[in-house]
């Protein structure tokens, strides 16, 4: 990663923050972006204290003009762009019958369109460096999860987009990685949108029993180094993807029963 420039969206916390440190410790210069300037400034200061060269830029990836400005400023500052990590994302937690459709639109705008915007405007620069485009997707991009229909839809869309892009770029020298963590400890569940679009404010799962954001970031770093096509993480995640391909009806039941155990789950047991 020496002399590489890595742009990470949604880098003010969780996996994004961990990725900034993982790639930065390998010698890369890091461009971090997020919507919340205060949290972003804190991460930038922590990176600087760790001796990691970085640039913090406030941007909302669901706003096309923000993304154009983000890419332009990153390239103007460092002169190149080698790796784009599409990490910015939100989730939702509501039964479809109860949810305001605007919640689905907001999740799709950030998770999917944010990936489209960033990839589209970063791609000309990454073609020059024959670098990498990474999408931080989810097991929910392979297997739809109840009470998270909007999130699952956005990740299925991301997976299809990245697969098509990878095929388009087959002879370009550009690497495309679809990274799908299983349940990973982060604040994404705390910030999950409810049926009305308000943040939940608390997690419904035991965060301490999940893979840490730092471990997840290390796996993604290795996958980028080896230019892997796909990365599916956690034993539960790998098993879910495998079973869903071979025994989809059984997996319906297994997934339902697992998520019905969550705190205040609307699923009947």
SS3 of 202-269 = CCCCCHHHCECHHHHHHHHHHHHHCCCCEEECCHHHHHHHHHHHHCHHHHHHHHHHHHCCCCCCCCCC
Domain architecture of the chain: domains with CATH: 5-236 (3.40.50.720)
Helix 248-259 with 235-246: angle, nearest 10 deg: 140
Q: Using CA atoms, how far apart are residues 132 and 109, in angstroms rounded to an integer?
A: 23
The label of the residue with tokens 């689905």 reads: 104
Which residue's structure tokens are 């893979």? 211
Tell me, yes or no, if 151 is annotated catalytic. yes
Q: Find where tokens 């880098």 sit.
A: 11
Q: Name the catalytic one among 78, 117, 121, 151.
A: 151
Closest CA to 106 of 86, 84, 85, 89: 89
DSSP strand pairing (54-58 vs 83-86): unpaired
pLDDT of residue 262: 86
Say what the pLDDT of residue 48 is: 97
Pairing of strands 175-180, 132-136: parallel
H or E segment at 66? helix 64-78
Strands 230-232 and 175-180: parallel
Q: Are 216 and 18 in contact (CB under 8 A)?
A: yes
Buried b (16+ CB within 10 A) or exposed e, 43-79: bbeebeeeebebbbbbbbbbbeebbeebbeebbeebe
> Within 10 Å of residue 163's Cβ, how many Cβ atoms?
15
Positive or negative torsion for Cα 257, 258, 260, 261: positive
DSSP per residue over 95-149, as a string?
A: -GGG--HHHHHHHHIIIIIHHHHHHHHHHHHHHHHT-EEEEE--GGGTS--TTBH
Q: Can you give the pLDDT at residue 234?
A: 87
Size of the chain in residues: 269
Write down the pLDDT at residue 192: 86
From residue 147, give the alpha-carbon distance in Å to each of 8, 93, 150, 231. 28, 5, 8, 24
pLDDT string in tens for the chain (269-residue length): 889 999 999 999 999 999 999 999 999 999 999 999 999 999 999 999 999 999 999 999 999 999 999 999 999 999 999 999 999 999 999 999 999 999 999 999 999 999 999 999 999 999 999 999 999 999 999 999 999 999 999 999 999 999 999 999 999 999 999 999 877 766 665 678 888 888 876 666 555 667 889 999 999 999 999 999 999 998 889 999 999 999 999 999 999 999 998 888 888 87
């Amino acid at each position: 990663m020496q002399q590489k420039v890595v742009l990470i969206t949604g880098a003010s916390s969780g996996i994004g923050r961990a990725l900034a440190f993982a790639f930065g410790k390998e010698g890369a210069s890091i461009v971090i972006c997020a919507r919340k300037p205060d949290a972003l400034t804190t991460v930038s200061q922590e990176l600087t204290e760790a001796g990691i060269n970085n640039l913090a830029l406030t941007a909302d990836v669901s706003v096309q003009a923000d993304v154009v400005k983000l890419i332009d400023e990153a390239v103007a500052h460092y002169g190149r762009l080698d790796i784009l990590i599409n990490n910015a994302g939100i989730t939702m937690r509501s039964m479809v019958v109860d949810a305001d459709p605007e919640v689905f639109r907001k999740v799709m705008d950030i998770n999917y369109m944010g990936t489209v915007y960033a990839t589209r405007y970063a791609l000309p620069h990454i073609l020059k460096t024959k670098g990498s485009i990474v999408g931080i997707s989810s097991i929910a991009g392979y297997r739809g999860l109840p009470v998270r229909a909007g999130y699952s839809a956005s990740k299925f869309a991301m997976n299809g987009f990245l697969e098509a892009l990878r095929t388009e770029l087959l002879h370009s020298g550009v690497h495309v990685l679809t990274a799908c963590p299983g349940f990973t400890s982060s604040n994404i569940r705390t910030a999950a949108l409810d049926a009305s679009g308000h943040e939940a404010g608390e997690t419904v799962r035991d965060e301490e029993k999940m893979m840490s954001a730092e471990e997840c970031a290390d796996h993604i770093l290795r996958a980028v180094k080896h230019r892997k096509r796909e990365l599916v993480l956690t034993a539960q995640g790998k098993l879910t993807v495998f079973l869903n391909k071979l025994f989809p009806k059984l997996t319906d039941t297994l997934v339902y029963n697992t998520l019905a155990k969550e705190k205040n789950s609307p699923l009947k047991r």
